Structure 1
Amino acid sequence: MPDISAWFNDLLSGNLIFTPTTLGYYWTGLVTTTQLVFLSLVIGLVLAVPLAIMRSSRRKWISLPVYVYTYVFRGTPLLVQLYIIYYGVVFFDGIQQSFLWPIFREAFYPALIAFTLNTAAYTTEIFRGAIKATPKGEIEAARAYGMSQGLMMRRIIIPSAFRRALPAYGNEVIFMLHASAIASVVTLMDLTGAARYVYSRFYTPFEPFLFVALIYLCLTFAILFFFRFLEKKLLAHLKPQTL
């Protein structure tokens, strides 16, 4: 039976996980995770806005391809998508001789593509629902001012939809942070990959994953605080005014 008290004392003293070597692994994993999540969210958001507009179109030839894309990427596991992009791309003829091979050869970029396409699909549906929920009075007022469809979308619908979508999008950001833990399966040294490496090298099954879980927890609280701050700033006009 393991000596729990000895393990707990070693954990508190830092003999097991707080060494220059292991901290270097954790720092590398934190940087990789932050870059992967941040870039995928930014690129996914840029893609999601026009896709959400297309998804909201009444023309089937515009909305149907976007619907198929979001249905496929929301209906299949992110891990499967990552495997297909990372391992399946090498089966395309001529890919290793093309200019794309330096990109797909590194594990970071296939993971970035998989995460971007996945979060763009979810964010598209989030914004599509927010666009559909735009009050008719705002649209009628914009038309009364003589705004064109593009101007109305840019000045009225998109800013209003963004405010309504903010709480749901905050959840998507947290989901992507947690989902990034699977990036280590394609040899990326993210936070989970760093914990697995420390575990395999120093034979400490609990300390690395507990420490990484604490880092994820801190990042999650930081994201929650940031989105709560944004909600207070952008949705302040919806709060009832006290006399």
Structure 2
Amino acid sequence: MTSTTINGRPLVLPDDPDALLIDVIREGGLTGTKLVCGSGVCGACTVLLDGAPVVSCLLPAQAAAGKSLTTIEGVGAAGLHPVQKAFMAHDALQCGFCTPGFVVEATAFHDSWRATKGTATPSREEIAAALSGHLCRCGAYEGIFRAVAEACSGRFDGIEPIAPRLEARDKVTGLARYTVDIHQDGQLEGVILRAHVAHARITGLDLAPARAIAGVAAVVPLLDDDNMVRFVGAPIAAVAARDRRTAL
């Protein structure tokens, strides 16, 4: 049995070598860490492992054994971090779904910057390089750049921010709840199998093995009558199961 500490509390890790850190975090009720791309390219699932930013959607849970794990809920747990204050004040967010990942990464950048360069203001290029692994689909980049620059310069040390959005505090602390964060008793999770090629005819689709897996409630084909897929990402079949891992 292996364990880690998450936001200062002990956590026993699953023995399953295929278990991902993102699933362990979210299944434990810390839903501020978001699963978006699942490919390590958008940064929404970023957490700190021994103080270093990592994408938890690609990291095996066992990689956290014996280490200290910090999620967005643990950032500024004793009081808002300057980065969180700056994000609130500069409206460096919109829907807020990607915000926890940005804040976690920016916090690590801020702390490293302040330790080595004091209250000097980082350039736009330096901030962009630090946040290059993150995507904001709402396009709040201007506010994000300003927030990180002013947090690093000490502008938000020891002050309470005035935020234009009422929900800003929840979004920068990971407390904002979205549809994917809500689970009801008996709820199933769905996954769609999609085409990896731009044009093809599906010559056979055997759904029986998927239906035989424990925890799978339903499997249905999504192909048109001609069994053709005409673009990358075209739906082929859908699975509903007791949890995401089983559905996958």
Q: Same fold (TM over 0.5)?
A: no
The answer to which structure has the higher helix fraction is 1
TM-score (norm 2): 0.23
- Structure number with the higher strand fraction is 2
TM-score relative to the length of structure 1: 0.23
Q: Which has the larger radius of gyration?
A: 1
Q: Which has the higher contact order (CA 8 A, sep 6+)?
A: 1
